Amino acid sequence: MRKVEIAIVGAGIAGLSCARKLQQAGHEVIIVDKSRGLGGRLATRRLAGTHADHGVCYIKPKGDAFIQLIKELQAHQIIHPWTDGIHRCNQAGHLHPPAQRSTYYVAAQGATTIAKYLAQDIEVIHDQRVTSLTPIENAWQLQSKDATLELTASNVIIAIPAPQAVDLVQYIAGFDAACLNKLKAVEFSASITAIATYPASFQATAQQTPWQGIQYIDHRDLSWIGLDSSKQINPPKPTVIVQSSAKFADRYFEAEDRQSIGQKLLDRAAELAPWIAQPEELQVHRWRYAFATNPFDERFLEAHAHAPLYFCGDWCGGDRVEAAYLSGEALSQSII
């Protein structure tokens, strides 16, 4: 049984930002994540000859702490300015140019490169879903469903969506009821993402598109259309990301034929750009916990337990990537 000082469950941006600061301060940290990659919704899908960001669409910093990270990422040539405005579209299909101008940043090699940068020199155990958290003496024992993970930690940080955190801690004998109620109060909306590529012959048509990203306002089916290939330098072919509304996801989340659902999204997007309805390749991804619709109002949550146990994520104080980063930073500073 391996013993560590701090174990973090979840390699999204909250877990990574927290781990980075703790390790820089001299703490022993290890991250355990259920997936093969890093970043959570900082997700990049590798496609034939290209890639596309099917989670976070862009980064638009607001606060000073996140702006400092943006400057650091720019200095290492990981991100670059993408556009100075996002178009808006209403339920009636009326497209409006950006009302305000500000810089939106993206990663030319995919959003996952941001997570990889933050994870430098941090030990990450991949492909291990933590399903059991057991109190032992002054520590916690973490185990996976197949019991291949056996790890004990003096401190545990749960950096996953609140509903998943509830599943992990609700059956711990005598667990902090007030903390559990706060976790249960957090609510999320789902989203379905269509990831589409097009023949290189469509490149000229795509480049003539008068927008790079469209945010839909109160639309029945759509929340976002992005010309994702415009983030790349000399893209080999056009790629488009279409994200559903929460209402659309509620209707079709459990549908077995994902391809037809993805095509529905492309067909709706084609009302503004007809060529989008004719993909060369179409993949679909479902996000069960896309956006926190009822977030926790503080940067992190601490449970009253026999050993330190904390919770952080984008659902702490917001619902976006900046909230996730600030949540991890705030928790690390508290521990330090």
In the chain, pLDDT over 90 holds for what percent of residues? 93
Instruction: Please check the confidence at residue 318 and state whether its pLDDT lies above 90.
Output: no
Sign of the alpha-carbon dihedral angle for 38, 308, 130, 183: negative
Global pTM value: 0.95
Reported confidence tier of residue 67, pLDDT bands at 50, 70, 90 = very high
**Alpha helix (H) ranges present in 26-140?**
64-75, 112-118
Q: Are residues 192 and 278 in the same domain?
A: yes
> Domain with 332 in it: what CATH number?
3.50.50.60
Q: Are residues 287 and 300 in the same domain?
A: no
Q: Are residues 7 and 128 in the same domain?
A: yes
Q: Are residues 236 and 280 in the same domain?
A: yes
- What is the domain count for the chain? 2
Q: Looking at residue 198, what is its pLDDT? A: 97
The burial of 304, by beta-carbon neighbours within 10 Å (0-12 exposed, 13-18 middle, 19 or more buried), is given as exposed
Instruction: Please check the confidence at residue 25 and state whether its pLDDT lies above 80.
Output: yes
Mean pLDDT across the chain: 95
In this structure, is residue 257 part of a structural domain? yes
Q: Are residues 274 and 328 in the same domain?
A: no
* Residues contacting residue 277 through CB under 8 Å, at least 6 positions apart: 263, 266, 267, 269, 270
Reported confidence tier of residue 146, pLDDT bands at 50, 70, 90 = confident
Strands 139-144 and 150-158: antiparallel
Q: Per-residue pLDDT tens for 252-306?
A: 999 999 999 999 999 999 999 999 999 999 999 999 999 999 999 999 999 999 9
What does the CA dihedral 226, 228, 233, 236 come to, rounded to 10 degrees?
-130
Q: Are residues 195 and 287 in the same domain?
A: yes
Q: Looking at residue 91, what is its pLDDT? A: 81
Q: Are residues 139 and 284 in the same domain?
A: no
Q: Looking at residue 147, what is its pLDDT? A: 76
Write out the H or E segment, with its range, that includes residue 15: helix 13-24
Q: Are residues 231 and 302 in the same domain?
A: no
Q: Average pLDDT in the 91-104 region?
A: 89
* Residues contacting residue 146 through CB under 8 Å, at least 6 positions apart: none
Q: Are residues 86 and 177 in the same domain?
A: no
> Domain with 242 in it: what CATH number?
3.90.660.10
Q: Are residues 64 and 97 in the same domain?
A: yes
Instruction: Please check the confidence at residue 111 and state whether its pLDDT lies above 90.
Output: yes
Q: Name the residue range of residue 88's domain.
A: 46-109+187-293
Distances (CA, A) of 82 to 212, 236, 273, 321: 9, 18, 20, 17
Q: Are residues 194 and 148 in the same domain?
A: no
